[in-house]
Amino acid sequence: MAGEPSSTKDVRQQAEVTGGASDGPTAASPTSSEEEHENSLGGSRLPMSGLRVIDVGTFLAGPYAASILGEFGAEVLKVEHPVAGDPMRRFGTASKRHDATLAWLSEGRNRKSVTLDLRQREGVELFLKLVAKSDVLIENFRPGTMEEWGLGWEELRQANRGLVMLRVSGYGQSGPYRRRSGFAHIAHGFAGLSYLAGFPGETPVVPGTVPLGDYLSSLYGAIGILLALRHREVSGEGQIIDIGIYEAVFRQMDEIAAAYGLFGKVREREGAGSFVAVPHGHFRTVDDKWVAIACTTDRMFERFAAVMGRPELAAADRYGNQRQRLAAREEVNRLVIEWVGSLTREQVMRRCVDGEVPVGKLNSIADIFEDEHFQARGNLARLCEEGLGEVVIPGVVPTLSETPGRISNLGPPLGNATYEILRELLGIPAQEIRRLRQRRII
């Protein structure tokens, strides 16, 4: 979701899943907390150590890029309004912490919260001082909002010529729709993804109940930041990265643009199947569970026919090649539905795995918690939070062999690092900090 204007106990991670990026030049030096992280990893320096990132966005689109950088060593300062904070704190399932939903605890990871009112002149001045000592700025307000606050690119660039700025919004910084509100759900529809989700002739459905566009735009944002930092190594100059949430979704839409441009073909909803292969879909087992089966080549189907005990189905005069199978889609799917429906999920899984047929469970989150592969890969990170006990969140991706990423803390309490950052990083006297707090600048 693109944003609209508007003390944690020490934690432990039971399993570390990793990722990374190349070192970029930085105006900031590693903090003592970063050095502690390095020591805890056997002295290895994380790829983004020494990088300071300001996340001034709200919700997910954009801020998730800061989460990724933070997992690999960057110091992330979450700048929030002194009273309300990031609306993500109140989005999703409530926890026992009054300022933190489960969504915030997970996606606010690896941050220090600094409160500043950017609608007040002194708040803007303090923010520019932070920018001068940072490397990356991430924002996701409607285009023009930062400029209205006196924090447009020219002001930011004057404070720090090497600043890299990620700007994520629903429709990007240019174009006729630039000022429209943007959320992942809207982007899924605008980019063409939601049109394809569901069964033929029925109402298009939400493609999963997660804000996929927010995560995708942030992934592209993280890539853009790394590219811009690489450019800065050579030139010393920062730059703007401009991403519309819909663009990140549209980029995932495989051949639909080429098919329409060349042949005028409009892909329609296909339910659980695929127009490119059969059998290729979701099938119910006798114990009322589901499996996904994908046979995209003739050789795969030959193996599957053998697994079903029907090797004759792969004969040249039956369904032995893809064109024949696609022409007889309903009949082939009927045979698979009958076979899968006569067995339990574990029986289908075992027979297909043994026969080298691509198969997978349609897992609920309960299934995921029990799955040995998720456990072995460290995909479920377990951290202890004061007052909550153990909190399980998705682990770090990708996995790096030499400099694995880490989760240092869950989403922080509002303003937990304001005094530290203003006093130690900006050198503001304690008396002045008290005055700023009394005036609600922080």
Is 214 among the residues known to form the active site? yes
Domain CATH for 39: 3.40.50.10540
Domain CATH for 351: 3.30.1540.10
Distance of alpha carbon 184 from alpha carbon 246, whole angstroms: 8
Residues 55, 214, 288, 317: which is the catalytic one? Answer: 214
Examine residue 404 and state whether it is found in any structural domain, yes or no: yes
Q: Are 214 and 303 found together in one domain?
A: no
* φ/ψ of residue 10, rounded to 5: -55, 140
Distance of alpha carbon 323 from alpha carbon 61, whole angstroms: 42
Q: Are 286 and 232 found together in one domain?
A: no
> Which of 344, 369, 394 is the C-terminal boundary of a domain?
369
Q: Are 286 and 223 found together in one domain?
A: no
Q: Are 50 and 86 found together in one domain?
A: yes
Examine residue 291 and state whether it is found in any structural domain, yes or no: yes
According to DSSP, the residues that pair with 379 across neighbouring strands are none
Q: Are 363 and 383 found together in one domain?
A: no
Q: Are 348 and 404 found together in one domain?
A: no
Angle, alpha carbons 394-90-223 (nearest 5°):
45
Region of 236 (left: φ > 0; alpha: ψ -120 to 50; beta: rest) is left
Examine residue 25 and state whether it is found in any structural domain, yes or no: no
One pLDDT digit (tens) per residue for the chain, 442 residues:
665 433 333 322 333 333 333 333 333 333 444 444 443 334 469 999 999 999 999 999 999 999 999 999 999 999 999 999 999 999 999 999 999 999 999 999 999 999 999 999 999 999 999 999 999 999 999 999 999 999 999 999 999 999 999 999 999 999 999 999 999 999 999 999 999 999 999 999 999 989 999 999 999 999 999 999 999 999 999 999 999 999 999 999 999 999 999 999 999 999 998 888 999 999 999 999 999 999 999 999 999 999 999 999 999 999 999 999 999 999 999 999 999 999 999 999 999 999 999 999 999 999 999 999 999 999 999 999 999 999 999 999 999 999 999 999 999 999 999 999 999 999 999 999 999 999 999 9
The per-residue pLDDT for 19 is 33
Distance of alpha carbon 226 from alpha carbon 271, whole angstroms: 38
Q: CB-based contacts of 316: which residues, under 8 Å, 6+ apart?
A: none
Q: Are 288 and 427 found together in one domain?
A: no
Q: Are 342 and 411 found together in one domain?
A: no
Q: Are 141 and 214 found together in one domain?
A: yes
291: tokens are: 């499996």
**Domain extent for 298:** 280-369
